Chain A
Amino acid sequence: MLKVAWSSIRTNKVRLLLTSFAIVIGVAFVAGSFVFTDTISARFDRLFEDIATGVDVVVVPDEPEFGNDFGEVAVSMPESVFDDVAAVDGVRVAAPSVGGIAQLIGSDGEAIGGFGPPTLGFSWTDESDLTPLTIAPENGRPPETADEIVLDVATAEAQGFAIGDSIGILTTGPVTEYELVGLANFGDEDNLAGATLAIFEFSEAQRIFDLEGQISEIAVGAEPGVTSEELADRIQKVVPEGVNSITSSQSTAEQTAEIKEGLGFLTTALLVFAMVAVFVGSFVIYNTFRIIVAQRTRELALLRAIGATGGQVTRMVVLEALIVAIISSAIGVIGGIVLAMLLSAAMSAAGFGLPEGPLTVLPRTVIVGMIVGIVVTVVASVFPAVRAARIPPVAAMRADLARTTRKSLTRRTIAGVVVTGIGALGIFIGLFTDTSEALSILGLGALLVFLGISTLAPIIASPVASFLGWPIKKAYRIAGDLAVQNTQRQPRRTASTASALMIGVALVVFVAVLASSLKGSINETVAESFPSDITASSSNFAIGVSPDFTEELRTEDAIGGVTTLNSGAVRVGENLDTASAIEPDTYEGVLNIPGADPDEIAALGATDGLLVFDDPDDENDGLPLGLEVTLEFPSGSTTTAEVVGTFEDDLAFGAFIMTRDRWFENVDPVADMLVMANAADGSSLDDAVAAAERAAEQFPNVDVQTQSDLIAEFESGINLLLGMFTVLLALAIIIAILGITNTLALSIIERTREIGLLRAVGMSRRQLRRMIRWESVIIAVFGAILGMGTGLVLGWAVVQALDEEGLSTFSVPVGQLVTLVILAALAGIVAAIYPAYEGSRLNILEAISYE
Chain B
Amino acid sequence: MGTAISWRAPARVVRYLTGRMGMPAAVAVTDAKKIYGSGDAAVAALSGVSAEFEKGKFTAIMGPSGSGKSTLLHCLAGLDTLTSGDVRLGDVSLGSLSDKDLTIVRRQKIGFIFQAFNLIPTLDAHENIVLPLSIAGEKPDQEWYDTVVSTVGLSDRLTHRPSELSGGQQQRVAAARALVSRPEIVFADEPSGNLDSTSGAELLEFMRRAVDEFGQTIVMVTHDAFAASHADRVIFLDDGQIVAEIQNPTADSILDKMKQLGD
- A: residues with CB less than 8 A from B are 399, 402, 404, 475, 477-478, 481-482, 485-486, 488-489, 753-754, 757-767, 844-845, 848
Taking CB atoms, residues of chain A closer than 8 Å to B123 are: 482, 485
A489 touches B122 (CB 8 A): yes
Known A402-B163, A848-B117; judge A763-B122 contact (CB<8 A).
Answer: no
Complex partner residue of A845 from B79, B112, B117, B194, CB under 8 angstroms: B79
Is B206 an interface residue when CB atoms closer than 8 A count as contact? no
A754-B120, A760-B79, A763-B107 known; 5 new pairs, CB 8 Å cut-off, are A488-B122, A761-B135, A761-B177, A764-B103, A766-B3
Taking CB atoms, residues of chain B closer than 8 Å to A481 are: 127, 134
Taking CB atoms, residues of chain B closer than 8 Å to A402 are: 121, 163
Cβ-closest chain B residue relative to A486:
B122
Cβ-closest chain A residue relative to B137:
A477
9 pairs, CB–CB < 8 Å, chain A vs chain B: A404-B163, A481-B127, A486-B122, A489-B122, A754-B120, A761-B177, A762-B104, A845-B74, A845-B79
Distance of B113 from chain A, by nearest CB (Å): 11
Taking CB atoms, residues of chain B closer than 8 Å to A399 are: 116, 194
A482 touches B79 (CB 8 A): no
Distance of A121 from chain B, by nearest CB (Å): 70
Taking CB atoms, residues of chain A closer than 8 Å to B106 are: 760-762
Complex partner residue of A760 from B112, B121, B127, B134, CB under 8 angstroms: B112
Taking CB atoms, residues of chain B closer than 8 Å to A475 are: 1
Q: Find residues 94-142 in chain B having any chain A CB closer than 8 Å to their own CB.
A: 99-100, 103-104, 106-108, 112, 114, 116-123, 127, 131-132, 134-137
A765 touches B103 (CB 8 A): yes
A478 touches B121 (CB 8 A): no
A762 touches B103 (CB 8 A): yes
Distance of A845 from chain B, by nearest CB (Å): 5
Taking CB atoms, residues of chain B closer than 8 Å to A764 are: 7, 100, 103-104, 135
The complex places the Cα of A482 from the Cα of B74 at a distance, in Å, of 26
Known A478-B135, A761-B135, A845-B74; judge A754-B79 contact (CB<8 A).
Answer: no
Distance of A843 from chain B, by nearest CB (Å): 9
Taking CB atoms, residues of chain A closer than 8 Å to B163 are: 402, 404
In this complex, which of B116, B119, B122 has the most chain A Cβ atoms within 10 angstroms of its Cβ?
Answer: B122
Chain B 231-242: CB-based contact to A (< 8 A → 1; otherwise 0):
000000000000
Taking CB atoms, residues of chain A closer than 8 Å to B134 are: 477-478, 481
Is B80 an interface residue when CB atoms closer than 8 A count as contact? yes
Taking CB atoms, residues of chain A closer than 8 Å to B132 are: 761-762
Taking CB atoms, residues of chain B closer than 8 Å to A478 are: 131, 134-135, 137
The complex places the Cα of A247 from the Cα of B194 at a distance, in Å, of 90
A759 touches B121 (CB 8 A): no
Taking CB atoms, residues of chain B closer than 8 Å to A762 are: 103-104, 106-108, 132, 135-136
Distance of A767 from chain B, by nearest CB (Å): 6
A482 touches B120 (CB 8 A): yes
Complex partner residue of B118 from A404, A482, A757, A767, CB under 8 angstroms: A757
Q: Find residues 64-81 in chain B having any chain A CB closer than 8 Å to their own CB.
A: 74, 77, 79-80
Known A845-B79, A848-B114; judge A763-B135 contact (CB<8 A).
Answer: yes
Those 6 A-B pairs whose CB atoms lie nearest each other, nearest first: A762-B107, A485-B122, A478-B134, A761-B132, A753-B117, A762-B106
Cβ-closest chain B residue relative to A844:
B79
Distance of A83 from chain B, by nearest CB (Å): 92
The complex places the Cα of A485 from the Cα of B137 at a distance, in Å, of 18
The complex places the Cα of A848 from the Cα of B106 at a distance, in Å, of 15
The complex places the Cα of A56 from the Cα of B108 at a distance, in Å, of 94
B135 touches A767 (CB 8 A): yes
The complex places the Cα of A478 from the Cα of B119 at a distance, in Å, of 14
Distance of A45 from chain B, by nearest CB (Å): 64
Taking CB atoms, residues of chain A closer than 8 Å to B118 are: 757
In this complex, which of A404, A760, A848 has the most chain B Cβ atoms within 10 angstroms of its Cβ?
Answer: A760
Distance of B169 from chain A, by nearest CB (Å): 14
A761 touches B112 (CB 8 A): yes
Taking CB atoms, residues of chain B closer than 8 Å to A486 are: 122
Distance of B42 from chain A, by nearest CB (Å): 19
The complex places the Cα of A584 from the Cα of B201 at a distance, in Å, of 105
The complex places the Cα of A760 from the Cα of B99 at a distance, in Å, of 11
B7 touches A489 (CB 8 A): no
Distance of B185 from chain A, by nearest CB (Å): 14
B79 touches A757 (CB 8 A): no
